[in-house]
Amino acid sequence: MAQTVTLGTSPEGPRPSYMYKVVLLGSMSVGKSSLAYRYVKSDFRELLPTVGCSFFTQILNLEEATVKFEIWDTAGQEKYQSVCHLYYRDAHAALLVYDIANKQTFSRAKLWLEELEKKFLPDEIVIALVGNKTDLAAEREVTTEEGEDFARTKGLLFMETSAKSNHQVNDLFMAIVQELLRREKEKASKPSPHGKVTVDLRASSTSTGCCRS
Ligand X SMILES: Nc1nc2c(ncn2[C@@H]2O[C@H](COP(=O)(O)OP(=O)(O)OP(=O)(O)O)[C@@H](O)[C@H]2O)c(=O)[nH]1
Chain residues that interact with ligand X, rule: CB under 6 A: 26, 28-34, 46-47, 49-50, 75-77, 132-133, 135-136, 162-164
Taking CB under 8 A as the binding criterion, the range among 157-165, 170-178, 189-197, 200-208 that sits at the site for another protein is 200-208
Give the footprint of another protein on residues 152-191 (CB under 8 A): none
Q: Which of 18, 7, 53 is nearest to 176 (CA)?
A: 18
Q: How far is the CB of 30 from ligand X (least distance, A)?
A: 4
Residue with Cβ nearer Mg ion (33 or 162): 33
- The reply on whether position 28 binds another protein by CB under 8 A is yes
* Cα four-point dihedral sign 50, 150, 112, 142: negative
Task: Please check whether residue 126 is in contact with residue 179, taking contact to mean a CB–CB distance below 8 angstroms.
Answer: yes
**CA nearest to 117, candidates 88, 77, 81:** 88
Region of residue 55 (left: phi > 0; alpha: psi -120 to 50; beta: else): beta
Q: Figure out which of the listed residues 53, 59, 60, 65 binds another protein, where binding follows CB under 8 A.
A: 53
Q: How many whole angstroms separate alpha carbon 190 and alpha carbon 52?
A: 39
- x-or-dash pattern for another protein, window 78-117, by CB under 8 A? xxxxxx--x---------------x-xx--x---------
Helix, strand, or coil (residue 207) = coil
CB of 37 to Mg ion, least distance (A): 9
Q: Which does 55 bind (CB under 5 to 8 A by kind): Mg ion, ligand X, another protein, none?
A: another protein
Among residue numbers 115 through 154, which ones bind another protein (CB under 8 A)? Answer: none
- Measure the CA angle with vertex 55, ends 114 and 88; round to 5°: 20
Count of C-beta atoms within a 10 Å radius of residue 181 = 17
Return the bridge partners of 20, or none. 69
- By the rule CB under 8 A, 27 interacts with another protein: yes
Q: Is 63 in the site for another protein (CB under 8 A)?
A: no
Amino acid at 5: V
Residues near another protein, by CB under 8 A = 1-3, 27-29, 33, 36-37, 40-41, 46-56, 73, 75-83, 86, 102, 104-105, 108, 206-210
